[in-house]
Structure formats: structure tokens, C-alpha cells
A and B are shown apart, each in its own frame.
Chain A
Amino acid sequence: MSQPQPAPRILYCRCAYAQVVPAEVKDAVLDGLARAEVAFEMVPDLCEMAARRDPHLAELARGDGPLTIAACWPRAVEGLFSLADAPLPRAGVRIVNMRTDAAPAILDELLGADRPTGDAS
């Protein structure tokens, strides 16, 4: 008998200390997540956590189940986790870029079939 698959995890970064992620994108993504029936985690700023070497980054990197991170450039996000001594695994992690992508496409990546229809994004 096969083991049940661990639930997918979602991490949203608000990039609260800078204006490099378009406000309308990060607001629409957060609103879309908030309106969906999913559990998810939110952090004010991955950069700030990485500089503090926040142990929660290691927990996120090690945790069970596929992880999708809504933040910025994948190269930067991977570097931040490494800086915090919490390198992301090669498999099971997707990073979507709120600096460059549109909110509907990001929500599709994050929620897939869980995305409610007629949401605010």
C-alpha cells in the first residue's frame, strides 16, 4: 500500500522592506491566497530572515511535501536560503517571481486546482 503524499506547502514573501516587487502584484497574490481554501505561510521579508539566519528557513527547506515560494528571482531566493545555512533541496521546490510575473499566472502556479473562480486578482 502506498504512503499518503505530504501536502504541498506555500510560502509567500511580502518583501516588506523595499519597493522592488510591484505592490499591485504582491497585494493581488496575497488576496488570491487569502480567498482560497488553503493553509499557507507568509513572511515579511526573506532577506531579513536570511540575514538573521532565522531557524525557520531551515525548517522550510527540510520540511515534507513540495514547496512553492512566491518571492522574487529564483537565483536570489536560493542564495538567501544558502546564506541562512538552509540550502533548498534540488527537487520539490518551485520559485515563482513576483518581480516579473503577473498575479493570475502566479496564483495558477501556487493554487492550481484550488484557485477559486471569480477572485479579485
Chain B
Amino acid sequence: MIASPPLPPRVVVYEGRGSTPFDPGERSRLLAGLLDRGYSVVRAGAGRAEAGAATAFIVLGCFGGAPPEVGDAAGRDVAVCDITGRSADEAIALVEQRRDGRPMNRPDAAGPGQWKPWFPVIDLARCTNCMQCLSFCLFDVYGVAADHTLRVENPANCKVNCPACSRVCPEVAIMFPKYHAGPIDGGPVSESDVQREKMKVDISALLGGDIYSRLRERSAEAKQRFSRERSADQALAERRRCLTKLADAAAIPREVLDALPSPEEIQRRTEEAARRAEAARVAQGARAAQGSTPAGTT
């Protein structure tokens, strides 16, 4: 779960009794403008609208100078804004003012506290809980649920634009909905996709277990070469060559590879992840065995 600021206020665009409808073009611009700034919006008045889980609401309506008194039985903060005669931009500015500078994640902003939602999503219909992704990820994105199945535990730890874990999944069960192409984006999975992924995993096994063990070997080789040749430039060039190969093979962005921890730390994290994955597999096996025990024998 991401460490996020409180939920932003939900905006209710009200056009029911006691208000006059918006101009259709302005209504459309108002809705798009609010969404592009990160607000959830409900259009109400022309039918049913859910109150939702928000802790605060801002109600926008053309009330002709007489906005109604509104209370909320659940004690939530409700602000009513009369936007009669205002443009969509002016109404949005009013919402921003009402928000009073409270922090929120925003699509239209960058910098500290802002987060692009990039993280893996599991297709539960395909996932076999083999835990390869958990073993692979160095950033603790994955965890194990109480029922010993795979869980995306820390989505915010994921490295933006890196879909590498989806490449090690033999079942093509890992999606990144903001990726640009299928099946990683959640598009249909073909039999050839499955065969290709299985082949990759097999090649990885033939290379010596996993991609990180190969990385460690290359790092050790580079260290040896450095001590022999005393050339920092050559060592650096070797590291770059190795990282470029990895980046190409697994579509890992260069900045993610550059940010990898030391080989020793990679080893520690890999071993820890492997331990967790193995514990989950053992627990799954025990549960399956329990489930297959004939009734009345326990």
C-alpha cells in the first residue's frame, strides 16, 4: 500500500432540484478539468449517485445565489459552492481554493510527494503462486498474503517504467496496466506468449539459476579484471556492457539498473526473497496436503 496523503475531497457536480443545469460544453470541460487534477467526481441530480467513502465533499451547483444548507449524517465535511455564471476554469479554481492546499497525489504535478501509479497487477486466473516474481524483485514489491498466496504488498516500491518481473513470470500473469504493449498491459495472452515466457525462464535456469546470480558473477569477474588490469575505465566499460545486455533482455530501464544496490546487498536481498518464497511454497504444499486428506482421518 502506498504511503499516501488523506483521500482528496470528492466533488459532486449537482444538477438536481434547486439548481439549473450547466451548459453541456462547460459541464464537459469542468469534469475533464477536475479529473485531470486528480479529483474523483460524481455527477448527481439526473439519477442516483453514491456517497462513497470520501471523508469530504465539495458540491458544485448553479443555485442562483441561494446555495442550500447541507449537512452530512456521518459528520463528513461538506462544502457547497454556488457556481452560477462561472466558467469551468473558475469553478475548478474554487475547488482548489476549498481544498485549502491539503496534499494530494496529482496527475498534473511532479516532484516530491507525487507518484505515478506504476506497479504490477496480478492476473489471479493465471497466477500459480510459483513466487518467481517474489524471488526476482529486489525492492520488496511482492509479499505473501495470510493464505500464503502472492500479493502486491508495496506498489510504491516499484521502479517506474520497469516491467522486468513480468518477464520472469512463466504464466504471463503479471500486468503493468500503464505499459504500452500487450500482453504486459493486460491485453489478451496468446499461446505463443506463454511459450516464449517459459522459454525465457528455461534459458535463465540454464545460465545458472537467475538473472541476479549472473549479475553477481559478472560483477565478480569485473572485480578480478580490475585488480589485474588496474583500469577503472575498463571495469566501468565492462559494467556498462553487462547492464546494457540486461536492459535489452528484460526491458529494464537503464536508470533502474544504475540504481541497483551493491552486489553484496543484491545477494542479501535475493536470499531473503528466496527464503520468503520457499516458506510460502511450503505452506501452500502443507495446505494442499491438508485439503486432500480424506475426511474423518484427522
Contact = CB atoms under 8 A, between A and B. Distances in A.
Interface of A: 7, 9, 14-18, 20, 27, 30-31, 33-35, 37-45, 47-48, 50-56, 58-60, 63, 65, 72-80, 82-83, 99
Contact of A45 (B31, B42, B117): B117
10 contacts: A7-B47, A16-B108, A20-B179, A30-B35, A39-B42, A39-B45, A40-B42, A52-B1, A73-B185, A74-B186
Contact of A76 (B38, B41, B54, B121): B121
Given A52-B1, A73-B177, A47 B31 contact: no
B177 A47 contact: yes
B289 interface: no
Contacts of A17: 107, 116-117, 178
Given A51-B1, A56-B40, A83-B121, A41 B49 contact: yes
Given A38-B46, A73-B182, 13 more contacts: A7-B47, A16-B36, A37-B46, A41-B50, A43-B35, A44-B39, A47-B119, A47-B177, A47-B178, A59-B50, A72-B185, A73-B187, A79-B124
Contacts of B121: 47, 50, 76, 79-80, 83
A99 B185 CA distance: 10
B242 interface: no
Contacts of B38: 16, 44
Interface residues of B, number: 54
Given A34-B24, A56-B53, A59-B53, A51 B119 contact: yes
Contacts of B39: 44
Contacts of A55: 53
B168 interface: no
Given A16-B36, A34-B24, A72-B177, A42 B43 contact: yes
B283 to A, nearest CB: 20
B188 to A, nearest CB: 8
B44 A83 contact: no
B27, B35, B45: most-surrounded residue (chain A CB, <10 A): B35
Contacts of A42: 31, 34-35, 40-43
B107 A44 contact: yes
A43, A52, A56, A65: most-surrounded residue (chain B CB, <10 A): A52
Contacts of A45: 107, 117
B36 A76 contact: no
Interface string B108-150: 1000000111110111100000000000000000000000000
Contacts of B54: 56
A60, A74, A82: most-surrounded residue (chain B CB, <10 A): A82
A105 to B, nearest CB: 18
Contacts of A40: 42-43
A39, A54, A73: most-surrounded residue (chain B CB, <10 A): A39
A52 B115 CA distance: 11
A35 B122 contact: no
B32 to A, nearest CB: 6
Contacts of B65: none
